[in-house]
Amino acid sequence: MARAPAKRPILPRRIFNRLSEQSKTVLESRSQPTGPASIATDTTRSVSVFLEQTIRNYECEIAYIKAARDGLVEAQDLKRITADEFRTEIVPFLQQAQETQQRLSLVKHQKELIEEDLEDAISIKRQKQSGGPSLELLENAYTQSILPRVMAASARQRKSRFDQSGFRKAVQTFYDVPLNKGYCHVLGCWLPKDYMKAAHLVPKSLTCGEISYLYGSKSDPTTREDPRNAVCLYSTIEQGLDNGTIVILPIYQSDSEIGSPTRWKCVLANEGAKNDMIIGIEKFTALMKEEFPSKKFLRWGDIDGRELKFVGQNRPARRYLYFRFIITYLFHKRNGEAPFAKKVDNLETFWPTPGPYLRKSMLVVLAKNVSNCNIPDSILDTTTFEDDESSSPITDGSPKWDPSLPRHH
């Protein structure tokens, strides 16, 4: 579990009393706590207001730290405190400044993504309670969203290689799967831990620049390390997600769920694999007999349309699942109008979750390069954003990764 933000450092009274009167006044004026955000009944507005208040709180905290730092520097210059006293007192303020500035930068740069994460978390909670989101719920959801980003940013400063073992642990912790066990979200049952994979949705082989070009101004440099960018799968099923045999799609019971689905299903994209075997049930009889009581062998057709089962309340992010859906669609489109691609083309809303997930021009280029095809307007019009001056393309303005899809982890 990531460490919570440190408690605000405070100057001891004996040090505070030796500051100049002006420094005391400034520090006291910036010591006043900011109030919590008012919570609206509308979920989207509540999340937006909460994040705006969070940004103001971080900015106030930085102003307070700056006032303390300036006061200490002045006091040492005036020889009111010793060099040793200055070093002792300044350290906790510098540590807090680094952490607060890091969080402020993350929230400002990734505000839209964090809003989406909070809205998803609230949608899950709202199934169990009526009324608008409480401040406690928003704070808990915010913590779940921001801490993986902070920890991932810190990890990148320490090493450049991807830590697959650490990522798997983070994914299991996020989904409430004990580290000494394995679990498959598609099968909905426990497995020996060695048979479970933390399956990336957006492949870790994509660079930050490539991801930035896909997501534009909404780019998230921590995508590879984000536990929302994965699901827990039995190893063979993970291979099926990688090679386009299956895809994960949203489930809707009513129109009110559109935009923030909380339920997902596995869909067989390669109908030719319908009768191919995934696993012999006798291998894990004690673990799987409850989910598949009459089966001796589990085939790909048996999990077509199967709802994913989660241990806790956390879910993968919609933007990552959408990316995997698009990649799988293009892969099958390239393979000569495969049945799955035809289904997508013929249905008006195959992915009925509106939102500007990916750069429109990027999808158009991908479609042309991969399969020389056009993506249906129903996808382009509701799930992409247009290029603008604020976008941050890759160095030469074009995607550099080879779209031989689907791409392995």
Q: Is the pLDDT of residue 309 over 60?
A: yes
φ/ψ (deg, to 5) at 273: -95, 10
Does residue 138 sit within a domain? no
- Read off the amino acid at residue 118: L
* Mean pLDDT over the full length of the chain: 75
Checking if the pLDDT of 86 tops 70, the result is: yes
* 8 A C-beta contact, residue 183 and residue 175: yes
pLDDT of residue 158: 47
Is pLDDT above 90 for 80?
yes
Domain assignment of residue 309, yes or no: yes
The model's pLDDT over 18-54, given as tens digits with 9 standing for 90+, comes to: 999 999 999 999 887 665 544 444 555 677 787 788 8
Residue 219 lies in a domain: yes
Q: Say yes or no: 116 and 176 in one domain.
A: no
Q: For residue 51, which of 177, 126, 148, 135 has the smallest C-alpha distance?
A: 135
Mean predicted confidence (pLDDT) in 385-403: 39
Domain count, the chain: 2
| 354 and 233 share one domain | yes
pLDDT tens readout for residues 108-134? 777 777 777 777 777 766 555 555 556
Q: Read off the pLDDT of each residue in 292-305 and give the average, rounded to a whole number.
A: 89
Please check whether residues 265 and 184 belong to one and the same domain: yes
Q: Give the tens place of pLDDT for each residue, 326-361.
A: 888 888 877 765 788 888 777 666 665 556 666 666
Average pLDDT in the 181-209 region? 86
Residue 53: name the closest of 64, 41, 40 by CA.
40
> Could you tell me what percent of the chain has a pLDDT over 70?
63
Report yes or no on 178 lying in a domain: yes
Residue 217, pLDDT score = 47
Cα four-point dihedral sign 64, 68, 74, 77? negative
Residue 3 lies in a domain: no
| Same domain assignment for residues 377 and 258 | yes
104, 52: one domain: yes
pLDDT value for 340: 83
Q: What is the arithmetic mean of pLDDT over 385-402?
A: 39
Shared-domain flag, residues 88 and 222: no
Average pLDDT over residues 206-231: 68
Domain that holds residue 100: 13-126
pLDDT class of 268 with cuts at 50, 70, 90: very high
Domain membership flag for residue 7: no
Q: What is the pLDDT of residue 369?
A: 59
**Based on the domain organization, do 49 and 198 belong to the same domain?**
no
Same domain membership, residue 208 and residue 78: no
State the average pLDDT over residues 93-120: 77
Instruction: Write the burial class of residue 49 (CB in 10 Å: 0-12 exposed, 13-18 middle, 19+ buried).
Output: middle
* Whether residues 241 and 322 fall in one domain: yes
Q: Are residues 167 and 121 in the same domain?
A: no
Are the beta carbons of 369 and 331 closer than 8 angstroms?
no
The C-alpha atoms of residue 258 and residue 84 are separated, in whole angstroms, by 60
In-domain check, residue 149:
no
Greatest mean pLDDT range, 271-275, 339-343, 367-371: 271-275
pLDDT for position 87: 85
Could you write out the three-class secondary structure of the chain?
CCCCCCCCCCCCHHHHCCCCHHHHHHHHHCCCCCCCCCCCCCHHHHHHHHHHHHHHHHHHHHHHHHHHHHHHHHHHHCCCCCHHHHHHHHHHHHHHHHHHHHHHHHHHHCHHHHHHHHHHHHHHHHCCCCCCCCHHHHHHHHHHHHHHHHHHHHHHHHCCCCCHHHHHHHHHHHCCCCCCCEEECCCCEEECHHHEEEEECCCCCCCHHHHHHHHHHHCCCCHHHCHHHEEEEEHHHHHHHHCCCEEEEEECCCHHHCCCCCEEEEEECCHHHCCCEEEEHHHHHHHHCCCCCCCCEEEHHHHCCEECCCCCCCCCCHHHHHHHHHHHHHHHHHCCCCHHHHHHHHCCCCCCCCCCCEEHHHHHHHHHHHHCCCCCHHHHHHHEECCCCCCCCCCCCCCCCCCCCCCCC
pLDDT of residue 39: 47
Q: What pLDDT sits at residue 40?
A: 46
Please report where in the chains the tokens 């896909």 appear, as a residue. 214
Q: 56 - beta bridge partners?
A: none
Q: Does pLDDT of 237 surpass 50?
A: yes
The mean pLDDT value for 301-317 works out to: 93
- Residue 250 and residue 180 share a domain: yes
pLDDT for 393 beyond 70: no
The answer as to whether 140 is a domain residue is: no
Return the pLDDT at 97.
85
Residue 189 has pLDDT above 80, yes or no: yes
pLDDT top residue among 198 and 220 = 198
Regarding whether 254 and 341 lie in a shared domain, the answer is yes
